[in-house]
Structure 1
Amino acid sequence: MTLTLALLMAAQVTTGAPTTDGAATPAAAPTTVVEGTTPAQEEEDEGSATAATAATRDIYVTARRRSEQAQNVPIPLSVVGVKELDSTGSFNVARLAQLQPTLQFYSTNPRNSSVNIRGLGAPLGLTNDGIDQGVGVYIDQVYLSRVAVATLDFLDVAQIETLRGPQGTLYGKNTVAGAINITSKAPSFTFGGRAEVTLGNLEFKQAKASVTGPLADDVAIRLGLTTTSRRGTIYNVATNSYVNSQDNIGLRAAILYKPVDGLSFTLAGDYSRQNPECCAQVFVRVGSTQRALNRQYDALARAQGYEPPSRNAFERLTDLDAELNARNVLGGLSLRGEYELGGGTLTSVTAWRFWDWLPANDRDFTGLPITTLSQNPTRQDQYTQEFRYAGEGRNLDYVAGVFAFYQDIHTTGTQRQGPAASRWLINPSSALASDPSVLNGLTAENDIRLKNFSGAVFGKLNWKLTEQLTLSPGVRLNYDDKVGSYNSIVRDGQGNLVPYSGGTPRQAAQRDAIQPQSFSGEAYRAWNVTYDFTAAYKPSRDVLTYATYAHTFKSGGLNLNGVPVVNGVVQTQLAQIAPEKVDHFELGVKSQFWDRKATLNVTGFWTEIRDYQAVVNNSSTSTLRGYLANAGRVRVRGVEADFAIRPSDRLNLYVNGAFTDGRYIDFRNAPCPPELSGGGTPTAANPTIGAPGQPGTNSPVVCDISGQWLPGISKFAFSYGGEYNLPTQVLGQTGEAYVGVDASTRTKFSSNASRSIYTDVGGYTLTNARLGFRTDSGVNLFGWVRNLFDAEYYEVLATTPGNTGLIAGNVGDPRTYGVTLGLSF
């Protein structure tokens, strides 16, 4: 079963107290600014609040589309405020994940990113525009369909709520794994602001600033800015430069208009840009496959006199010779209107958002000119409209709404082979392997399009039968319409078209390297119904128990990275992907004791998914990075337990833990791991399958991986830490000195869709520390160290194309340190 420890000091939290129900945040004063925050509260949060002076107050969340005390919400959730984000250096989702054991984030570049909760959400390492994410990301009630937003810096954020488990009857899209609900700071009619500057090693520089105030009696404005830069952590000996750098900037503006009491409009716009030289994965190891020995990495490298700059990934060296780029731009406009009507609030949220992605990669992962150009720039526009009414009666409250979503995605890409491609990709026994012109200049030009409409009607009712017992049914009717096309035209170095099948041996070799294919007009259209039911029982003021059942869907989709081509025939039957069908069970208890100085929240859950959308690789070197297939059934179960204690205003401590068991229950036609790939095809004359990693033997066509681990899930994960402060004076300024430590530990996890002996990532612990002084006047100066003990760890490992046995990976950040100066007014 899967466990998580939910930490929240909700009712009497003062500065420095844990502010989460899913992850106690050990930093400065808890931030409770949420939608509907009053100007007085906003002003208080702009200023400083030390442990000696902060007002005690409850933690409020909008998880159920209304403002409620977090401990009264029968949903396992975590809440992190702005002060916790700043003091722990959690300026993006990757950093935030270190505070929350069951939030996972994996990324090889902004597009190839996965945000998962309890191991569910998106297949690890998948790049495919034709499917939905399982974790919904919402900023100011606007759904963002691009997970690339998770790699950007948080921009003028007030609070982040992470909701675990299906939320499809409350949020705009089916969110089968959970939702991340980000609330920006609201404009205030009281003038205020804050600024923060950070300097660190690796040339790290970060600045944040925001200001708010009135423009008129009924109009207020807020402006925010953030910028981050850092030298890369990998040295490229081919270009004599550091790569995998950071170069981010973000801008946000919001105008609040309140013409009369009970009516308000908020117009907001934002722009965020990353433009680093990124993203390099370094040589990790060679793992033998079943390919002929002279076609595996070491033999191929020797044949061209090549050796990687280092076989120790933690020397952080690479020699990639193709251009690297990861420009990632997102932005948009939204208009939210809120009108107090009857016994509730009518809300309208209208938004347009865009995403521009301009990448460049080295697809061969070596310093040889095998693939000299690889890039698939993408433009996406999305439009959303939501109407929602949150009403309240004597013994019940409810939320009902309609939601519409439309997106248009266009990807145009190019892959070009270089002069070393023939000797690397063609069987050395063929005379064509010694002729560089066969593959040199071979180019694929791709055109990928998707138009997607999604509409839903949803509602949630909380019926209070007694003072202790509340029943909460929810339902959602959803419709999806996706139409897509994939076209890959391949030409040789002389500009001649490479046919889909047939032709000369030279053309067959070119097709083995890059397979042309085309399909258009593929469509997925379907209705589905999501429903859930929660019973919550509150035997006392400080204890809440609840049980939930949810039946939900993750929308079906299209394979828009191409599908296999067999004997020249495009397998268009694989273009459509069935929806995931999810059954979810949950039991939980939220409790506080010792005069609410301690909080213990425990959740047990069991989730089963039929037709799980899994990554399938075609095990050949081609433009196809993978295609999707539906696994029969997967299961994730576990227990989460979060504990927080604040014995005095001087000290707070927390520990969050999770035990998670995620497995394929039925997946009999899965892609094989690299050690069982690349060999010959079994025949009646020679049916024997070779031993794993045995060169020159037969490989199975498919593998039964039923019972194996789901990728990305550690069986045990923990986050823990605390902060101690002491009142003092420095240079005549009254305030407090403080020291804080936060750590996260996770055990081994699989980093490949089909678990491989080469791609398990070993467990590791990361420890962060800070030491500082903050004043009643709003000054906060502290030094910090991240990865204090300089742990060497991988964020993700990946098999590379072609079954050569090369394993590449993303090494985690080394020890970093710096100083931060913040000022609030």
Structure 2
Amino acid sequence: MHARLQRRDIVTFHASRTTLLLGGAAFSGLAALPAHAQDVAPDADQPETATAAQDSGEIFVMARRRSESAQDIPLAVTVLGAQQLAETGAFNVARLQQIAPTLQLYSSNPRNTSLNIRGLGVPFGLTSDGFEQGVGIYIDDVYYSRVAAATFDFLDIAQVEVLRGPQGTLYGKNTTAGAVNIRTNQPTFTFEGNAELSLGNYEFKQARAAVSGPLSDTIAVRVAASLTDRRGTIFNVTSGQDIQSLDNLGLRAQVLWQPTDNLRVTLAGDYNKQDADCCGSVFVRTVATQRPLNRQFAALASALGYAPPSRNPFDRLTDLDSTLEAGNVIGGVSLRINWDVGPGTLTSVSAWRHWDWKPQNDRDFTGLAIVARSQNPSQQDQYTQEFRYAYTGTRFDFVVGAFAFHQRIDTQGTESQGAAASRWSIAPNNALAFDPTVLDGLTARNTQFLKSTSAALFGQLSWKVTDAFTIQPGARINYDKKEGFYQRRVFTGTGVELRGTETDARSRAQLGIFQPQLSAPQDSDWNFTYDLTLSYRLAPDVLAYGTYARSFKTIGINQNGLPTDANGVPIAAAGTIRPEQVDHFEIGLKSQVWDRRVTLNLAAFRTDIKDYQATVTNGQFGVLRGFLANAGKVRSQGIEADVSVRPSARFSTYANGAYTDAKYVRFVDAPCPPELAGGTTVGPGQTPSPAGTPGGLSPANCDISGQRLPGVSKWAFAFGAEANAPGSLFGEAGQFYLGYDGSYRSDFSSNASPSPATRVAGYSLSNFRAGFRSDRGLNIFAWVRNAFDEDYFEQLFIAPGNTGLIAGLPGDPHTWGGTVSVTF
């Protein structure tokens, strides 16, 4: 039995080729990376299949909740192995977008992180707890509801699978745009381990290690740890510190109990902590708005004697004067049971997750004491239970499952105004603008909670009608309930509470910044969704497929406060937003020729979403940071292709490309871009002023139908090559290698309503690596990332107040270093 257990738990694949998967509308993003970079772990529950595949060079995935060859499934999935991730510097989800063109991740801090596929997933901008994620993150079958988890380092990863398109009939939590399925290395019944150390400029240090082995004939354990540290890439002249640093710690332990061949019970726990000097921004530019000229950035800065430390954002200088903190702790415990029952496997996954977020920000983006303090710490507890049965047969395969989810998030927010707030935020024709005590110390204290509960039944059937033709239907029924609470209390600098009914001029000026509010939105909803995929094998290595999926994103609630009417009264009807209705179409072709040395995949997709859940950003300080609303309809469509060529074991190359046309089909009442905002709202019979007219008339909202969705480039590419030659080093036989990985993204909008002021220009990045791999697990290499020191932005931000200030987050500069790793 032990020999079988050993094979089941520790066998790994060394793929003889690079395979990039394309599936229903997405080509697999990294097809042609070198074979060594595609090392992946097989499914421990399918040892015979894994062993049979080892010599053929196939890559096995769990994308459909059972072990299958990646190239044989009609599903959009990119497979990334552990060695590939390490050598390309993709040590967290945020860095995957450089090697997976259809993935977009934007993060101004861990909480405000957006993970999208093909431009869809979550609204671009400030994150709200009140909506669901469109791209699900799963680690060892456990759903992670907070995208903040994407900012942590990968820890003892076996492989990452990026699935594109709706996944509600396969996965516990419904996801409308895709899923990131992460699998860690499992405990083994023979002793093994690995260790890695990287050093680089900016005082970069990263150490990772894992060890695994038996405690008895039936119990095995695995423990892993990761530590990453790097000083920041932006210098704060006010504090004298570098910000945007890295300070990550990760710990994971697993215990496997396997009393028989057909029962495996795994108890896992993890703890991840971040304590970086983060997060800030730099001055980028100003844009003319429709505010009166004396209330725009240049005039206000001059009146207060202020100038940014540099007007060149790539000097990487800032002067933020508020305390910055991004304390982030995520951890949890899971119990996974796999029991071979009859012809299939019954799986139970029980999990508890906790998230503790402790931020401090500078929301005015300047060195002025306008917003003195801005922080919204929160704590989340999440409980999930999934039951699943997976069957594989000669003519029929199927997966059926049930899923339950409960989440509670508590948030305690504090936002205070500073000594410069009066002059900045009160019109200068009001004498109170020149009295700093009016707003100095004005504080809003927010208390809120969210309770979210959902339950679902789901399943998918694969019917092999003939050896070539397969029909694959799936269905899901889902129930969701959300309950929220929000209370804002407002206090003057002397501690007096404002009730919102005060009529004196001083109080009205203060209430123009913060209004007390109380709301308790709640809603529930049932949804039934389904999908159908047809696939036909045109030749042994050529698969054609087509998919239609009807999916949904459930109801949302405005958890951060409600918008108000002209009289300042909260609009109760805005407390909840309608679910999204998703229609997804895709066709594709997966093919390999020349004895599988060449992979060519093509796909076309179209996703229409009615009642798209968008984020609306309010331009004033503290009135309302942002709220959710339904846009009429959006559409993402495009063509994706990848090609990889491996003519011999000594050379491989790949090129992947995606054209994505993602736009608002109908959004007639969207927030206006900064150049059309800040003026007096037009009344009946009036016409809005041209964009950028100081003191002009601004529309109440704007029709942005036909304009591009934020955060997604029309064109995205990833490409590279590696060559190697046999040799020896330190008496170890192996190969010397030289590799290159490049990427390009065209321009994209960094605001929900497109504006020239928030257009991020396209950019390209180049990464090189050179080193030696031994046949016995030693790998030594030097690396250079952003080799040509490309200046680019990850995001641009519109500063609050409609003053025309645009701030930004520059991407990482040129970095270099070296890595030594060993597997034993």
TM-score bracket, normalised by the shorter chain, equals over 0.9
Deviation at 1:35, TM superposition (A): 3.5
Q: How do 1:543-558 and structure 2 match up within 5 A?
A: 543-558=542-557
SS at match of 2:302: helix
Q: 1:424 corresponds to which residue?
A: 424
Deviation digits for residues 361-397 of structure 1, max 9, x if unmatched?
0011111111111000010000000000012343111
Distance in 2 between residues matched to 1:15 and 1:278, nearest whole Å = 42
> CA RMSD of the aligned region, Å?
1.8
Q: Which amino acid aligns with 1:491?
A: F
| Cα distance change, pair 192–15 in 1 and its aligned pair in 2 (3 A) | farther
Which AA in structure 1 matches 2:581?
A: K
* CA offsets 1:162-202 (integer angstroms, 9 cap, x no match): 00001110001111000000000011111111000000000
Give the deviation of 1:497 after TM superposition: 1.6
Q: Is the 8 A contact 2:46 2:67 kept in 1?
A: no
State the AA in 1 paired with 2:18: A
Q: 1:10-89 to 2 correspondence within 5 Å?
A: 14=15, 17-18=18-19, 22=28, 23-24=30-31, 26-27=33-34, 28-36=36-44, 56-89=56-89
Maintained 8 Å contact 2:289/2:678 = yes
1:501–1:568: 8 Å Cα contact kept in structure 2?
no
Displacement, 1:681?
Answer: 1.9
Q: Take 1:158 and 1:41, find their aligned partners in 2: how far apart are those partners?
A: 18
- Is structure 2 residue 357 aligned with structure 1 residue 344? no
CA distance in 1, matches of 2:533, 2:467: 16
1:162 aligns with 2:162: yes
Q: Return closer, same or farther for 1:20/1:463 CA change in 2, 3 Å cut-off.
A: closer
Aligned-partner residue type, residue 706 of structure 2: G
Runs of 4+ in structure 1 off by over 3 angstroms are 11-21, 37-45
Give, in angstroms, the shift of residue 756 of structure 1.
0.8
**CA 1:255–1:329 in 2, change beyond 3 Å: closer, same or farther?**
same
2:384 corresponding residue in structure 1? 384
Q: Distance in 2 between matches of 1:321 and 1:25?
A: 47
**Is 2:452–2:480's contact at 8 Å kept on the other side of the alignment?**
yes
- Structure 1 residues 566-575 or 66-75, which shifts more? 566-575
What is the CA deviation profile of residues 490-537 of structure 1, one whole-angstrom value per residue up to 9, with x for unaligned ones?
A: 1111111223344211111111112221112x2110000110000011
SS at match of 1:71: helix
3-state DSSP of counterpart to 1:727: strand
Cα pair 2:142 2:351 within 8 Å, conserved: yes
1:797 matched residue in structure 2: 796
Partner letter of residue 33 of structure 1? A
Deviation at 1:74, TM superposition (A): 0.2
Is the CA contact 2:498–2:516 (under 8 Å) kept in the aligned structure 1?
yes
Taking the TM superposition and a 5 Å limit, the aligned residue runs for 1:420-819 are 420-520=420-520, 522-566=521-565, 567-684=567-684, 687-819=686-818
**CA offsets 1:253-306 (integer angstroms, 9 cap, x no match):** 011111111111011101111110100011110011000000001100100101
Flag the 1:84–1:451 CA change in 2: closer, same or farther, 3 A: same
1:236 aligns with 2:261: no
CA distance in 2, matches of 1:107, 1:718: 21
Report deviation, 1:26.
Answer: 2.2
> Structure 1 unaligned runs (5+)?
1-10, 46-53
For the residue of structure 1 that corresponds to 2:756, the secondary structure is coil
Aligned to 1:7: none
Partner SS state of residue 565, structure 1: coil
Percent of paired sites with the same residue:
55
Q: For 1:513, what is the secondary structure of its paired residue?
A: coil
Does residue 317 (structure 1) correspond to residue 317 (structure 2)? The answer is yes
The alpha carbon displacement at 1:37 in A equals 6.0
Q: Deviations over 1:431-463 (max 9, x none)?
A: 000111110110000011001101000010001
Report what 2:335 is aligned to.
335
How far apart, CA to CA, are the structure 2 residues paired with 1:663 and 1:646? 37
Contact 1:12 1:597 in 2 (8 A): no
Paired position in structure 1 for 2:123: 123
TM-score by length of 2: 0.96
Q: Sort the Cα spacing of 1:629 and 1:692 in 2 relative to 1 into closer, same or farther, 3 A.
A: same
Give, as a single letter, the amino acid of the residue that structure 2 aligns with 1:653: T
- Amino acid corresponding to residue 57 of structure 2 in structure 1: R
CA distance in 1, matches of 2:56, 2:43: 20
- 2:269 matched residue in structure 1: 269
Structure-2 separation of matches of 1:508 and 1:533: 58
CA distance in 2, matches of 1:761, 1:317: 19
Aligned residues: 805
Give the whole-Å Cα distance in 1 for the aligned partners of 2:492 and 2:690: 38
TM-score between the two structures when normalised by the length of structure 1? 0.96
The residue type equivalent to 2:808 in the other structure is G
Aligned-pair CA distance for 1:43: 13
> Does the C-alpha gap of structure 1 residues 722 and 348 become closer, same or farther in structure 2, counting only changes over 3 Å?
same
Aligned equivalents of 1:814, 1:755: Cα separation in 2 = 27
After superposition, the Cα gap between the structure-2 partners of 1:159 and 1:293, relative to the gap in structure 1 and judged at 3 Å, is: same
User: Residue type of the partner of 1:581?
Assistant: Q
Once residues 430 and 29 of structure 1 are traced to their aligned partners in structure 2, the CA distance between those partners, rounded to angstroms, is 65
Question: Structure 1 residues 17-26 or 296-305, which shifts more?
Answer: 17-26
Corresponding residue for residue 48 of structure 1: none
Amino acid at match of 2:490: V
What's the counterpart of residue 208 of structure 2? 208
Contact 2:32 2:643 in 1 (8 A): no
Letter in 1 for 2:721: G
2:31 maps to a residue whose letter is A
CA shift, 1:117, in A, is 0.3
Say if 1:186 and 1:254, in contact at 8 Å, map to a contact too: yes
- Is residue 515–residue 565 contact of structure 1 (8 Å, CA) maintained in 2? no
Distance 1:225 1:347, change over 3 A: same
1:674-732 Cα distance to aligned partner (Å, 9 max, x none):
00000012235x81311101111000001000000000111110000011100012233
- Residue aligning to 2:6: none
Which AA in structure 2 matches 1:234? I
Shift of 1:19: 6.0
Task: Say whether the 8 Å CA contact 2:337–2:349 is kept in structure 1.
Answer: yes
**2:635 counterpart SS class:** strand
Could you say what secondary structure the match of 1:96 adopts?
helix
Give, in angstroms, the shift of residue 734 of structure 1.
1.1
Distance in structure 1 (CA, Å) of the matches to 2:653 and 2:784: 19
CA distance in 2, matches of 1:556, 1:84: 38
Contact 1:42 1:188 (C-alpha < 8 Å) held by counterparts: no
The whole-number CA distance in structure 2 between the counterparts of 1:12 and 1:427 is: 67
d(CA) in 1 for partners of 2:75, 2:51: 29
Structure 2: distance between partners of 1:712 and 1:822: 36
Query: Given residue 109 of structure 1, which amino acid in structure 2 is its aligned partner?
Result: N
Identify the range of structure 1 (771-780 vs 30-39) with the bigger mean alpha-carbon deviation. 30-39
Cα distance in 2 between the residues matched to 1:480 and 1:766: 42
Higher relative contact order (CA 8 A, sep 6+): 1
2:221 and 2:580 map into 1 onto residues whose CA distance is 43
- CA deviation after TM superposition for structure 1 residue 41, in Å: 11
The CA distance in 2 between the partners of 1:600 and 1:695, in whole Å, is 55
Q: Is 2:16–2:57's contact at 8 Å kept on the other side of the alignment?
A: no
**Is the Cα–Cα contact under 8 Å of residues 14 and 649 in structure 1 kept in the other structure?**
no
CA spacing shift, 1:746–1:235, aligned 2, 3 Å: same
Displacement of 1:215 in angstroms is 0.8
Moved more, 705-714 or 497-506: 497-506
Paired AA for residue 788 in structure 1: A
Structure 1 residue 283 and structure 2 residue 291: aligned? no
CA distance in 1, matches of 2:378, 2:401: 32
- Distance in 1 separating the partners of 2:42 and 2:508: 61
Which secondary structure state, in structure 2, belongs to the residue aligned with residue 438 of structure 1? coil
Q: Distance in 2 between matches of 1:136 and 1:582?
A: 16
Question: Residues of 2 paired with 1:118 and 1:725: CA distance?
Answer: 34
